[in-house]
């Protein structure tokens, strides 16, 4: 009887551990609507991460740009508080649709399709789509020249919609990207023949020294609007419209536009390899720190959960085997990016909770990593000669005692190299979490590229940082393996 009670207790604790992963570590207090916009309960506004000059991170680590400055000026004029939630454009749309944020300002064109899902403010900017090609490209001068060519677009943008219409007339292959800087570099590198984006954005990039040119004039302008979810936050929309009218009247709006789009706009400096390191080392250090924190916390929790699941899998109990097998099958079958979106967007919507991006990121890595650790634990146990467990049982030891005293100490020695390898994989997987707004090392690189347009040097720097960290971990693994083999 005692044996079965102990198994039941182990099963319950395992389920509790699995459930705890989904519980936000930082619960956000529910406030009344009357408190919305106060310092304690600010409006959550999502914006794009890298869409210079509308939104980007400056050298001081602050988000600035036309959109950011406009929403801040309106908030000050109308007396409400905001908190920015930078996400890539498509993720921002999902956050708004699932009410994870209250509004979105991200150079979003007002279109009939979007008006079916969102309510828009009065237009605050007009910009047309334009085509750009590499500076030395003399082949493409008209849309007809795109026949049989490859075009780069940003997911969900007006430029992407414009190219979709061109595809009805011409045979065009499309490369899709989540950020503008990478999209431009794809053209400069020769992987795409042309790129379509909003004219102010590409004009700013060219002004910063990007080697692109415009063979055609911009198309008729689209208008940008501030968006809230359909039939949600009408008071926020009303305040935006009133504030916009006020800052246009008092000259603040023109000052903001001139700061980023004028002949006197500040140009990027220090884009060489060593200049980038010198001017951005603190940002890179913060990004690396976030990567390591995410990895350490996720791996520590996953190690506990994965060990429990691995013991379940190696147990003679068929029920525990089934629980472990189902979990492993599900988690190994879901792509990490899909799991991140599900946890950050779908779980809060299903259970009516709010979850921070950090908690969602830790949960994503933990759930994914635990599935692989459980298999490593099972493999380590099975690698120990079966006769050793039988010898322990023949001496009168219980199954649990035999596992704890005889099998697991030997299995741990076998598992150490593969566990460190899994730690390295988890560390690299943190780069995927940028899709939900976590600024880890890879995302830090993207942000710096958006400001400096020096992707070649920056990706080299980021790659070297990863290589150094992973080399150190590999060395630690070798040292541990040698010491354990000598014991």
Residue 339: give its domain's CATH number. 1.10.3720.10
Q: Verify that 277 and 255 share a domain, yes or no.
A: no
Half-sphere exposure of 466 (CA within 13 A, CB side): 19
- At 36 the pLDDT is 85
Evaluate if residue 288 carries a pLDDT over 70: yes
List Cα–Cα distances, 120 to 27, 105, 198, 318, in angstroms.
Answer: 30, 10, 19, 56
Q: Is residue 266 domain-resident?
A: no
Q: Verify that 46 and 20 share a domain, yes or no.
A: no
R_g of the chain, CA atoms, integer Å: 27
Alpha carbons 404 and 455: distance in angstroms, whole number:
51
> Can you read off the two tokens belonging to residue 260?
């980023």
Q: Verify that 138 and 204 share a domain, yes or no.
A: yes
> Can you read off the two tokens belonging to residue 68?
């950011």
Q: Is residue 440 domain-resident?
A: yes
Q: Verify that 382 and 469 share a domain, yes or no.
A: yes
Selected residue with higher pLDDT from 392 and 267: 392
Q: How confident is the model at residue 485 (pLDDT cuts 50, 70, 90)?
A: low
Q: What is the CATH number of the domain that holds 213?
A: 3.40.190.10
Q: How many Cβ atoms are within 10 Å of 164's Cβ, its own excluded?
A: 12
Q: What single DSSP character describes residue 427?
A: H
Count: domains in the chain: 3
Those residues with Cβ within 8 angstroms of residue 281's Cβ, 6 or more apart along the chain or in another chain: none
Domain of 306, in residue numbers: 2-26+272-486
Q: Is residue 183 domain-resident?
A: yes
Q: Verify that 89 and 142 share a domain, yes or no.
A: no
Q: Verify that 378 and 316 share a domain, yes or no.
A: yes
Q: Which pTM value belongs to this model? A: 0.69
Q: Verify that 252 and 291 share a domain, yes or no.
A: no
Taking each helix axis from N to C end, the angle separating 441-452 and 455-486, rounded to the nearest 10 degrees, works out to 160
Nearest 5°: the CA angle 188, 163, 158 is 95
- Give the tens place of pLDDT for each residue, 236-271: 999 999 999 999 999 999 999 888 876 555 555 555
Q: Verify that 352 and 250 share a domain, yes or no.
A: no
Q: Verify that 463 and 427 share a domain, yes or no.
A: yes
Q: Verify that 97 and 171 share a domain, yes or no.
A: no
Alpha carbons 391 and 402: distance in angstroms, whole number:
9
Alpha carbons 345 and 360: distance in angstroms, whole number:
9
What are the backbone dihedrals phi and psi of residue 58, each rounded to the nearest 5 degrees, phi first? -80, -175
Q: Is residue 267 domain-resident?
A: no
3-class secondary-structure state, position 45: strand
Q: How confident is the model at residue 393 (pLDDT cuts 50, 70, 90)?
A: low
Q: Verify that 44 and 138 share a domain, yes or no.
A: no
Q: Is residue 265 domain-resident?
A: no
Give the N- to C-terminal CA distance of the chain in Å, as an integer: 38
Instruction: Please list, residue by residue across 39-56, b when 16 or more beta carbons sit within 10 angstroms of its beta carbon and e when fewer do.
Output: eebbbbbbbbbbbbbbbb
Across the beta sheet with 194-198, the strand order is: 173-177, 150-154, 194-198, 129-134, 212-213
Q: How confident is the model at residue 180 (pLDDT cuts 50, 70, 90)?
A: confident
Q: Is residue 279 domain-resident?
A: yes
Residues forming beta bridges with residue 234, ordered by sequence position: none
3-class secondary-structure state, position 315: coil
Q: Verify that 331 and 441 share a domain, yes or no.
A: yes
For 142-148, what is the mean pLDDT? Answer: 94
Q: How many Cβ atoms are within 10 Å of 459's Cβ, its own excluded?
A: 16
Asked if residue 150 lies in contact with residue 175, where contact means CB atoms within 8 angstroms, the answer is yes
Selected residue with higher pLDDT from 41 and 6: 41
For 149-173, what is the mean pLDDT? Answer: 91
């Amino acid at each position: 009887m005692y044996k079965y009670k102990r198994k039941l207790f182990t099963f319950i604790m395992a389920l509790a551990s699995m459930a705890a992963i989904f519980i936000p570590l930082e619960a956000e207090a529910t406030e009344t609507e009357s408190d919305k916009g106060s310092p304690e309960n600010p409006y959550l506004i999502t914006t794009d991460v890298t869409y210079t000059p509308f939104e980007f991170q400056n050298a001081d680590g602050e988000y600035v740009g036309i959109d950011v400055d406009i929403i801040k000026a309106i908030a000050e004029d109308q007396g409400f508080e905001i908190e920015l939630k930078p996400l890539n454009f498509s993720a921002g749309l999902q956050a708004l649709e699932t009410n994870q944020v209250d509004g979105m300002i991200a150079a979003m064109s007002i279109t009939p399709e979007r008006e079916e899902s969102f309510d828009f403010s009065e237009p605050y900017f007009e910009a047309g789509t334009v085509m750009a090609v590499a500076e030395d490209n003399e082949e493409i001068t008209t849309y007809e020249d795109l026949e049989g060519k490859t075009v780069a677009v940003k997911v969900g943008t007006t430029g992407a919609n414009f190219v979709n219409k061109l595809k009805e007339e011409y045979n065009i292959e499309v490369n899709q990207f989540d950020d503008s800087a990478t999209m431009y570099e794809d053209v400069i590198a020769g992987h795409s023949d042309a790129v379509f984006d909003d004219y102010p954005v590409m004009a700013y990039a060219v002004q910063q020294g990007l080697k692109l040119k415009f063979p055609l004039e911009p198309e008729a302008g689209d208008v940008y609007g501030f968006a809230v979810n359909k039939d949600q936050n009408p008071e926020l929309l009303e305040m935006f419209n009133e504030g916009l009218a006020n800052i246009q009247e008092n000259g603040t709006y023109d000052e903001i536009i001139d700061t980023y789009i004028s002949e006197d706009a500040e140009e990027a400096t220090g884009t060489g390899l060593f200049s980038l390191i010198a001017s951005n080392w603190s940002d890179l250090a913060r990004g690396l720190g976030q990567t390591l924190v995410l990895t350490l916390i996720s791996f520590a929790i996953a190690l506990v959960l994965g060990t429990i699941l691995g013991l379940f899998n190696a147990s003679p109990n068929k029920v525990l085997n089934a629980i472990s097998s189902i979990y492993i099958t599900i988690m190994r079958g879901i792509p990490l990016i899909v799991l991140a979106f599900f946890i950050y967007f779908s779980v809060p919507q299903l259970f009516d909770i709010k979850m921070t991006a950090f908690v969602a990121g830790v949960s994503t890595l933990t759930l994914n990593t635990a599935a692989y650790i459980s298999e490593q634990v099972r493999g380590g146990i099975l690698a120990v000669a079966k006769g050793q467990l039988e010898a322990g049982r023949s001496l009168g030891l219980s199954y649990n005692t035999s596992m704890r005293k005889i099998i697991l100490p030997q299995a741990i020695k076998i598992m150490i190299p593969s566990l460190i390898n899994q730690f390295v994989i988890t560390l690299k997987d943190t780069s995927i979490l940028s899709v939900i707004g976590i600024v880890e090392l890879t995302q830090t690189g993207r942000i710096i590229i958006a400001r400096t347009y020096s992707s070649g040097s920056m990706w080299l720097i980021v790659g070297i940082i990863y290589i150094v960290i992973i080399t150190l971990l590999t060395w630690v693994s070798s040292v541990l393996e040698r010491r354990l083999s000598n014991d």
